[in-house]
């Protein structure tokens, strides 16, 4: 009997060991793959703006893609902010418990289910022509278009966590405010927001972490030019979409540089998500 229990416990423990092996193996593999690029470029890799695969003159730098990744994700969060905040108030406060709230909630969940590539297609065939029509630029590609599609993609994440946080605000606080004659707007800004502030903030951090790693939809809309975008409607590239684009014909130093970018992306998303998880634990 005791023996059987020990075997079961060992199997459970070994299973848990496997995820540690996978995660640490990932980090080691990425680091190992980065070595050739690191030996050649050193830390200049992060600050260099060159991306030149011409043989003999090979030179790779990650800065344009770091900038592109951060800029598209920041645009996404700025657009997402009022929309996700309103939607979470709609579901979690104003129509809380009503049928219409669960309907809107289901629709938001459906947004989370749409595959990245379908967002990309829709962005390419529908959103991009709108951008052209409005005269922002000729082709419709660029960091703004990519940020806009990213915003739609991360809204469900920000909304679902915000709803939880808004629902956690104690009812008696709200009732006290209402009984003093506060309007709904007063309650939102003076009771809900101060109480759920850090939770709502965390939901945007986690949404930001999501936006950083999105690949397909961004690849189809950002224009894939390996430069630092100078305006909102300039083309650019993100770290994830660069890997997707250039991986096909990559080997040697170029492949190593792509791995280095993957490692950077891994570290950046890890830090952002870690920050988010830490904040959520505090709540």
- Which residue among 159, 203, 235, 246 contacts other proteins (CB under 8 A)? 159
Residue 208 or 233: the one with the smaller Cβ distance to other proteins is: 208
Nearer to other proteins, 67 or 220 (CB): 220
Interaction residues for other proteins, span 237-256 (CB under 8 A): 240, 243-244, 247-248
- Provide the CA 79 distance to its chain's centre, in angstroms: 13
Query: Is the separation of the CB atoms in 142 and 105 below 8 Å?
Result: no
Using alpha carbons, select from 246, 150, 248 the residue that is nearest to residue 204: 150
Q: Are 240 and 215 in contact (CB under 8 A)?
A: yes
Rank residues 88 and 235 by Cβ distance to other proteins and give the closer one: 88
- In 3D space, the residue among 193, 125, 185, 126 whose CA is nearest the CA of residue 165 turns out to be 193
Residue among 26 and 168 whose Cβ is closer to other proteins: 26
Q: DSSP state, 99? A: H
Which span (53-61, 168-176, 181-189, 229-237) binds other proteins, by CB under 8 A? 181-189
Query: In this chain, which stretch among 60-68, 129-137, 177-185, 225-233 interacts with other proteins, using CB under 8 A?
Result: 177-185
Which one of residues 4, 56, 97, 135 is an interface residue with other proteins (CB under 8 A)? 4
When asked if residue 126 is in the footprint of other proteins (CB under 8 A), the reply is yes
State which of residues 209, 223, 229, 236 lies at the interface with other proteins (CB under 8 A). 209
Q: Which element (helix H / strand E) includes 249?
A: none
Structure tokens belonging to residue 150: 């990213």
Nearer to other proteins, 117 or 231 (CB): 117
- Scan for tokens 């829709």, then name that residue: 122
Our finding on whether 269 is near other proteins (CB under 8 A) is yes
CB of 251 to other proteins, least distance (A): 11
8 by DSSP, 3-state: which?
Answer: helix
Kindly report the length of the chain: 283
Per CB under 8 A, the list member of 56, 57, 179, 185 interacting with other proteins is: 185
Task: Look up residue 203 and give its two tokens.
Answer: 């939901």
């Amino acid at each position: 009997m005791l023996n059987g229990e020990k075997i079961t416990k060992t199997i459970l423990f070994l299973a848990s060991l496997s995820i540690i092996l996978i995660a640490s193996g990932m980090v080691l593999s990425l680091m190992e793959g980065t070595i050739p690029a690191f030996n050649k470029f050193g830390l200049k890799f992060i600050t260099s703006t060159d991306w030149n695969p011409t043989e003999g003159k090979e030179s790779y730098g990650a800065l344009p893609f770091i900038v592109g990744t951060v800029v598209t994700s920041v645009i996404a969060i700025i657009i997402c902010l009022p929309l996700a905040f309103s939607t979470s108030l709609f579901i979690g406060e104003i129509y809380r418990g009503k049928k219409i709230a669960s309907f809107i909630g289901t629709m938001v969940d459906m947004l989370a289910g749409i595959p990245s590539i379908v967002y990309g297609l829709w962005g390419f065939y529908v959103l991009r022509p709108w951008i052209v029509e409005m005269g922002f630029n000729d082709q419709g590609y660029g960091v703004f278009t990519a940020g806009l599609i990213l915003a739609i993609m991360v809204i469900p994440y920000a909304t679902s966590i915000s709803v939880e946080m808004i629902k956690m605000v104690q009812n008696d606080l709200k009732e006290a405010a209402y009984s003093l004659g506060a309007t709904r707007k007063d309650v939102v800004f003076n009771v809900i927001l101060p109480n759920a502030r850090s939770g709502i903030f965390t939901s945007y951090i986690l949404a930001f972490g999501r936006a950083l790693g999105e690949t397909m939809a961004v690849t189809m809309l950002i224009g894939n030019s390996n430069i630092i975008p100078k305006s909102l409607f300039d083309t650019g590239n993100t770290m994830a979409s660069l890997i997707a684009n250039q991986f096909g014909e990559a080997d040697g130093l170029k492949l190593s540089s792509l791995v280095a970018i993957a490692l950077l992306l891994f570290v950046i998303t890890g830090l952002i998500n870690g920050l988010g998880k830490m904040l959520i634990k505090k709540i």
